[in-house]
Amino acid sequence: MDQNQLKKAAAEYAVRFVEDGMNLGLGTGSTVTYMVAALAKRAQDENMELTCVTTSSRTKRQAEGLGLRVVELNEVDRLDLTIDGADEIDANYQGIKGGGAAHTMEKIVATASDQVIWIVDESKMVETLGKFPLPVEVFDYGLTQITERLAEQGLNPVLRLDENKEPVRTHFKNLVLDLNVGQIADPHALADQLDHEVGLVEHGLFLDMVNKVIVGTPDGPKLID
């Protein structure tokens, strides 16, 4: 099975945890695209009433296009469940997200959720985080200075560019620096360091945030609860 088939299988498995009447957070990425398709089908087949909050305009377009009800985060008190992808998950179920530059919205939505499920293919499961560059969202204002400060700390920031060599912009029109930090032995210490960095909007370390992980494997989706 190729990576996309594994992503699809994990995504389709996840929608069994959705219940009628839920307020749902929908993540971003290729795995989430499969999940939203399966969710919309289940909602229609079972006549479920769901209220969804999305973490990117891409997910919003897809969800609305498939007939799901999408509202703004500010319109709900809490979310019952958020289902999202991840870029890396370590042996302690800490994660890196932001490969799609959506990690700021994704973290706000995850934090507003009672339950969080990550759906990934098995290649995302690692012993220690850090092979995947750690995304951080930064303002244009002070880019030179923050890049220099992060470089001085040995975090090797690289401005993310798109296929036309233009800077990637987040939903909030900010920039993304990818930090090439190598193995992250202590994710909490690094998160703490980045949390104190002036001008850094949000980083992609998602720590102690997930309740279930569904991993697509050639033997079928594996649930880690």
Q: Which residues make up the interface to ligand 5RP (CB under 6 A)?
A: 27-31, 84-87, 97-103, 106
DSSP annotation string for 73-93: GGG-S-EEEEEE--SEE-TTS
**Which is nearer to ligand 5RP, 99 or 133 (by Cβ)?**
99
At residue 186, what are phi and psi to the nearest 5 degrees?
-130, 85
Angle at 176 between CA 205 and CA 3, to 5 degrees: 65
Task: Please say whether the beta carbons of 88 and 124 come within 8 A.
Answer: yes
Please, what is the minimum distance in Å from the beta carbon of residue 47 to ligand 5RP?
A: 29
- Pull the structure tokens for residue 115: 């339950």
Least spacing, CB of residue 190 vs ligand 5RP, in Å: 17
Catalytic status, residue 106: yes
Q: Which is nearer to ligand 5RP, 23 or 59 (CB)?
A: 59
Q: How far is the CB of 99 from ligand 5RP (least distance, A)?
A: 3
- Element containing residue 220 per DSSP (H, E): strand 220-224
Of 12, 64, 88, 106, which is the active-site residue?
A: 106
- Least separation in angstroms between residue 32's CB and ligand 5RP is 6
Q: Please give the Cα distance from 118 to 209 (Å, whole number).
A: 10
If the CB atoms of residues 153 and 211 are measured against ligand 5RP, the closer one turns out to be 211
The nearer residue to ligand 5RP, 101 or 213, going by C-beta atoms, is: 101
- Residues noted as catalytic: 106
